[in-house]
Amino acid sequence: MSTASGYLTVSGIDVDVIYKNIKNLHIAVYPPLGRVRVAAPERLDDDAIRLAVVQRLPWIKKQREQLRAAVRQTEREMVTGESHYVWGQRYRLKVVNEPGRIRFNLTGKHLTLHAPKESSPDTRREAMDEWYRSALKHEIPELIAKWQPIIGRNVARWTVRRMKTKWGSCNRESAHIWFNLELAKKHPHCLEYIVVHEMTHLLERNHNERFTELMDGFLPDWRARRDELNAAPLADENWGKSNA
């Protein structure tokens, strides 16, 4: 049973640490972004855990690259029958061939893509990225406005972009926050967790005890949200194709 948890950053890699009543230390790398988690005996301190992670860095980096390669290999073809995620819900893609600009809409359990028949998969993927981007840009300002008076710091600027290994990042000096485009595929309370997480870095740069205490005060269920964010599949999971 877990008794405590925390964060470390080793060679630019964020590491979740869970302290347990166990004999040996275990390191795991989880999809989809290569999150690193260490299950550590309660007797070990941060320095010992950091050393163990450093010693396993080649293996960790290899695992993370394999995860990224797997995502590249399962890139969506943007045809009817594929599964795609929007705000944590899974939808089957339904393609309607029609002239004009590419657009998307949700109807029941389907995500309908209206696109010219001759449009390429790349063009359709780019259009979907912009659709996801617009969805995030609609939600993020309200969340930032909600949390600024609670956290006591203002966000000067924020950007949505595709990120390989992080859900978000923050420049503490400029108060600029970046959000991963993939967050539009996750449940909305996962997005709120990232907003709070990155805004908390405006108060505390490191993933240390103070950071954990601040997060506990701001968002008591942040660990559950973090675990849901990292456990839920991305759009590379496929139901198979059908004519539904």
**Over the stretch 158-196, which tens digit does the pLDDT of each residue have?**
999 998 878 999 999 999 999 999 999 999 999 999 999
Where residue 242 falls among pLDDT bands split at 50, 70, 90? very low
Q: What pLDDT band is residue 5 in, cutting at 50, 70 and 90?
A: low
Taking the C-alpha atoms of residue 233 and residue 32, their distance in angstroms, rounded to an integer, is 7
The predicted pLDDT at position 4 comes to 64
Q: Tally helices (H) and strands (E) across the chain.
A: 6, 11
Domains defined along the chain, listed by start: 4-73 (no CATH), 121-231 (3.30.2010.10)
Q: Identify the helix (H) or strand (E) that includes residue 140.
A: helix 121-151
Residue with tokens 């008591």: 220
Residues 6 or more apart whose CB falls under 8 angstroms from that of 224 comprise: none
Which contacts qualify for 66-70: CB closer than 8 Å, 24 or more apart?
Answer: 67/29, 67/31, 67/32, 67/33, 67/34, 68/34, 68/164, 70/31, 70/236
Q: Which residues lie closer than 8 Å to 210 by C-beta, 6 or more apart?
A: 204
114, 103 Cβ separation under 8 angstroms? yes
Question: For residue range 71-123, what is the model confidence (pLDDT) as tens digits?
Answer: 655 667 899 999 999 999 999 999 999 999 999 999 899 999 999 999 999 99
Max avg pLDDT among 60-69, 81-90, 229-238? 81-90
177 touches 170 (CB < 8 A): yes
Q: How many CB atoms lie within 10 A of CB 100?
A: 8
Average pLDDT over residues 218-238: 73
pTM for the model: 0.77
Least confident segment among 1-10, 31-40, 78-87: 1-10
Q: Give the CA distances from residue 156 to residues 140, 170, 214, in Å, rounded to whole numbers and listed in that order.
A: 13, 11, 21
Strand, helix or coil for residue 159: strand
